Structure 1
Amino acid sequence: MEPTPRPAVSIVIPTHSEQRWNALVRTVASARSQTYAPAEIVVVVDHNPVLFRRTRRDLGGVTVLENLYTRGVSGNRNTGAFHTSTSLIAFLDDDTVACPQWLENLVKPLAADPAVVGAGGGIDPDWEGAKPAWMPEEFLWAVGGSYAGMPTTTAPIRNVWSASMVVRRDTFLAVGGFRTGFGKLGNQNRPEDTELCLRMSALAGGHWMYVPDAVIRHEVPASRSTFGFFLRRCYAEGRGKVAMAGLLDGSESLGSERDYLRSLPRAVLRNLVAATRGRGAHHALKAGGVLAGVAAAGVGGVVETVAGRRTVVAGATR
């Protein structure tokens, strides 16, 4: 019996700022070094002509495009994805480094099961300095990392993150790709990857897989290691998830968030017990971090709910 041919994969990397040039070079180098060689590497520059010219000049062997849509990472990714012709499309962020087996491991669930519409891999925070003592493992998502409570072996999951993602091209195109205008731009931080995952699953009746062995490292600069950034990120996540629910099927799309919130009291208790048993004061700080993160996300959710209601009322009175 002849072996099943391996599906071809393109890798799309969005970028927007010259300040990330060195990181982008590292990301592209890691994409080139995959044991599962990509058919094409596409770098898409978000409305930055200077960076576009530099990327075309200095990054040989990759396709370099300009964002064809309005400014923002969703349009940036769509530009690259719609350009490709492979059956699978993978995404990396421009501040990540993929391990050599990343793509090979990420593709396995899709090659094995046609019901899998996409997969995501494990993300290890790559701290510029020391990891903050108060940072709870359950909140590593706030710095773009896999967090405590996620599967430790390959398993179905509701959604993955676009920093480390592979999708079936036909399903991705059928839903229109990432929702433009609903993503990361300036101070706005909307979960465009979660929203995409839900639409793709709903259309195809398929599911997503999380592959913890498909590892990337995600850079965490010192500016994102502060408590202030943590609170702002949690607040933005609360707003973003409520905004996402408004676009989809209301609160039904937030089932995973409710399950996650129900797990957090155990994290608080575990850290407090560890602190009282003399295992280190940092456990008490982590318990406080959980409570602060939940509070900030809750405030964000309330603010977005009120803002949404005001929008509806304003529209009805016109």
Structure 2
Amino acid sequence: MSGIGFSVVICAYTERRWDDVHAAVASVRAQLHAPEEIIVVVDHNPALYARLRESLTGVTVVENREGRGLSGGKNTGVAVARGDVVAFLDDDAVAAPGWLEAFARHYDDPAVAGVGGLTLPMWPGSTPSNVLVSAPVPETTGARPGWFPEEFDWTVGCTYRGMRPGPIRNLMGGNASFRREMFPVAGGFSTGIGRGFHKRPLGCEETEFCIRLRQRSPRSELVFDDEAVIWHRVPPERARFSYFRERCYAEGLSKALVTQSVGSQDGLASERAHALKTLPRGAMKGVGDAFRGEPAGIGRAGAITVGLAWTAWGYGVGLGAARRRARQARRARRDQGAMATRGRPGGEGVV
């Protein structure tokens, strides 16, 4: 299906990523499989919207028509898109020239509803975005902090150790594509999950969407292809241990919302396997690396332990909060029912 048309959606929200957004657009323009259109959705920032409309010639720049946040921005982009497939790229990422080409070859199979790719981190010290505007492939990707375990690269929006090419439960939102026809089936991205105006670095809007898509279209497949490569920038503040802990806790909160929406069996299936298999292996490898003369291995083993604990803590807190909200909603419905009964003729005093 070499003639498949792609609409590439990039969601932007802050002037601080001015060069990043332009680098992302430049990388899409340089694709071997040229996109049908590039759509930049600006999240409730009129000044940025006006500037990008002027600077990004040949690009469709629109304002987020839904509530503030990434889910609303993605839904707006989908509503505008005309391509057969809608691909999403983070505003602080650049795509390798073969990105869309790798996606396209999977859509020859009508069972494939979505394809995601390999997201590699650009750590502090990597090629700056103002250079990537004219040369979208980074010459250097910086230096990973020695304590940072690859098993937790998801905390910075990147592919983590343990992911394997082939069928997958959910795609990562910043490097994903879906047939446009699947969005009415799944119902779009939930605005109650994921990044918004909250201070906490929440996520999982794409996880919940993918699970819901598969629940409503069980024969559809989602595929991870490690040849569909992008590089995602990690700013210095996100390479710190304090952010790592905060992001893990926020992920637990988000996972609680996901399980309330799609059920714990589907909502935690991949997480259970990751926690029971990949993370213990990673911790043991870190300890082994330390014994082999690499002190940072102990740091990685410790980070894996802390990351798992903080994520579980967040999940427990989020699950408790969700259950309290559910009880309050049931109580409110009962109260409304009782009031309605009292208001009917002969209903006075009935409880």
Determine which of 139, 142, 161 is the counterpart of 1:148: 161
RMSD: 1.2
Measure, in 1, the Cα distance between the counterparts of 2:287 and 2:38: 47
Measure, in 2, the Cα distance between the counterparts of 1:46 and 1:139: 28
Q: Which residue of 1 aligns with 2:304?
A: 290
Contact 2:193 2:254 in 1 (8 A): no
Structure index of larger Rg: 2
Matched, 1:116 2:129: no
Determine which of 186, 195, 198 is the counterpart of 1:184: 195
Measure, in 1, the Cα distance between the counterparts of 2:166 and 2:266: 22
TM-score scaled to structure 2, two decimals?
A: 0.86
Measure, in 2, the Cα distance between the counterparts of 1:121 and 1:79: 22
Q: Which letter does structure 2 place at the counterpart of 1:300? A: G
Q: Alignment partner of 2:82: what SS? A: coil
Q: Which residue of 2 aligns with 1:198?
A: 211
Between stretches 256-265 and 176-185, larger displacement belongs to 176-185
Contact 1:117 1:201 in 2 (8 A): no
Contact 1:122 1:211 in 2 (8 A): yes
Measure, in 2, the Cα distance between the counterparts of 1:146 and 1:34: 21
Determine which of 254, 258, 266 is the counterpart of 1:244: 258
Q: Alignment partner of 2:74: what SS? A: helix
Matched, 1:127 2:123: yes
Q: Which residue of 1 aligns with 2:73?
A: 76
Q: 1:315 to 1:32 in 2, by over 3 A?
A: same
Q: Alignment partner of 1:305: what SS? A: helix
Q: Which residue of 2 aligns with 1:172?
A: 183
Measure, in 2, the Cα distance between the counterparts of 1:190 and 1:141: 10
Offset at 1:173?
2.5
Measure, in 1, the Cα distance between the counterparts of 2:163 and 2:81: 31
Q: 1:267 to 1:57 in 2, by over 3 A?
A: same
Stretches of structure 2 that go unaligned for 5 or more consecutive residues are 126-142, 333-351
Measure, in 1, the Cα distance between the counterparts of 2:75 and 2:327: 33
Q: Alignment partner of 1:184: what SS? A: coil
Q: Which residue of 1 aligns with 2:269?
A: 255
Q: Which letter does structure 1 place at the counterpart of 2:209? A: L
Matched, 1:62 2:59: yes
Q: Which letter does structure 2 place at the counterpart of 1:119? A: V
Q: Alignment partner of 1:270: what SS? A: helix
Q: Alignment partner of 2:155: what SS? A: helix
Q: Give the number of aligned pairs.
A: 311
Contact 2:2 2:104 in 1 (8 A): no
Matched, 1:160 2:178: no
Contact 2:116 2:172 in 1 (8 A): yes
Offset at 1:204?
2.1
List structure 1 runs of 4+ shifted beyond 4 angstroms: none
Determine which of 239, 244, 248 is the counterpart of 1:225: 239
Q: Which residue of 2 aligns with 1:270?
A: 285
TM-score scaled to structure 1, two decimals?
A: 0.95
Offset at 1:5?
5.0
Question: Cα deviations across residues 278-306 of structure 1 (Å, max 9, x unaligned)?
Answer: 2x001111000100100110110111011
Between stretches 117-126 and 80-89, larger displacement belongs to 80-89
Q: Which residue of 1 aligns with 2:40?
A: 43
Q: Which residue of 1 aligns with 2:16?
A: 19
Question: Cα deviations across residues 208-254 of structure 1 (Å, max 9, x unaligned)?
Answer: 10011110000000010100000000001111111100011234421
Measure, in 1, the Cα distance between the counterparts of 2:158 and 2:26: 21
Note the 1:93-112 alignment, pairs <5 A: 93-111=90-108
Measure, in 2, the Cα distance between the counterparts of 1:173 and 1:21: 32
Measure, in 2, the Cα distance between the counterparts of 1:136 and 1:22: 29
Offset at 1:274?
2.2
Question: Cα deviations across residues 146-187 of structure 1 (Å, max 9, x unaligned)?
Answer: 111111xx4111111110111011112222221123220132
